[in-house]
A and B are shown apart, each in its own frame.
Chain A
């Protein structure tokens, strides 16, 4: 019985530690700025599909057909860029055979722009990743070259990768993420 008591006491201690650790990890969640980077998160956002009549962003024009996107997330840190989307698909093209497909787009890149850069040349562009037929893609890159410091008013574009170069954007950050209940 005594050994059993000690085991349960140990279990309680471990469990309390786990609970405390999880709580602290949650408290340290991204988005808290300190004015210094130290690899911390500088942007977290969702994505919105592009519209041909939409704005040129950072010197990059939107693609020539409308795109929509399902779930998505863009996270930019000083040392890592993660952008992913599901259901990034053509919509309302006027050609029912194209709607709900990725059309001719098979690869995309994620570009990060800082400091109101209007040159069209991103401060970071990922390697191209596949855009699968369901419109799903995922970029997750550690930065080998740091973003400008500071990187003010950062923005993220998902761009068609064609003929060996980034082209028009088909999604941009600014979409909803989360349920709005977070502090």
Chain B
């Protein structure tokens, strides 16, 4: 009886320690919210992505930072945006066409093969991003991942925004960085 008692007591201690550690780690996450107003490698934006709506829709999707939305509607299943002054991470699953009027296209990526993530700062309206990632594949499930280090953003980068832009299609496979957007940060 003495041995199982000791074992359970040990288990209890370990479990409490794990719980406390996890809870404190979560509390530390809250501390992450304390900004200093300067860039020292810290996160400046956390957000998700929303699929775009065409200019021709009712109501139309907005032009953002001087960049128009793509000509068909897109939806995003899940996504994550993390921007630091030196690192840009953007990923999504299920970035797919929807309500195109062509059932064969809905739920696919259509002709899109590659995308870029573009970061805009200071409410620029000329379509020129402060940073544009290298093109990455958009797989047939609508999944992609951008993770770029050694990024330099303007300081300050006020009101930062992120667009996911078409970089290459099946008929125009040479990547470009000035395509329309198919997702933007927000919710």
Contacts and interface: CB of A to CB of B under 8 A. Distances in A.
Interface of A: 1-2, 4-5, 8-9, 11-12, 15-16, 18-19, 22-23, 25-26, 29-37, 40-49, 54-58, 68-73, 75, 78, 113-116, 118, 150-157, 171-180, 182-183
A176 B16 contact: no
B36 A176 contact: yes
B34 A22 contact: no
Interface stretch (B39-47, B105-113, B133-141, B167-175): B39-47
Contacts of A157: 159
Contacts of B51: 35
Interface class of chain B by DSSP: mixed
Contact of B35 (A32, A58, A73, A151): A73
A177 B19 contact: no
A34 B33 contact: no
Given A22-B26, A57-B159, A116-B63, A46 B37 contact: yes
Contact of B64 (A2, A40, A41, A153): A153
Given A150-B50, A177-B32, A57 B122 contact: yes
Given A16-B19, A42-B187, A174-B157, A182 B32 contact: yes
Given A19-B19, A57-B123, A153-B64, A177 B43 contact: yes
A152 B44 contact: no
Contacts of A42: 47-48, 186-187
B151 interface: no
Contact of A152 (B25, B121, B184): B184
B44 A46 contact: yes
B180 interface: no
Contacts of A176: 35-44, 85
Contacts of B23: 18, 22
B159 A151 contact: no
B5 A152 contact: no
A33 B79 contact: yes
By DSSP majority rule, is chain A's interface helix, strand, loop, or mixed? Answer: mixed
A41 B187 contact: yes
Contacts of A152: 50, 62, 64, 161, 184-186
21 contacts: A31-B82, A32-B78, A33-B79, A33-B80, A44-B47, A46-B44, A55-B122, A71-B35, A73-B35, A115-B62, A116-B64, A116-B125, A153-B186, A154-B185, A154-B187, A174-B45, A174-B158, A174-B159, A175-B37, A175-B44, A176-B43
B36 A175 contact: yes
B167 to A, nearest CB: 19
A31 B81 contact: yes
B11 A178 contact: no
Contact of A12 (B8, B29, B36, B38): B8
Contacts of A56: 123
B37 A43 contact: no
B28 to A, nearest CB: 9
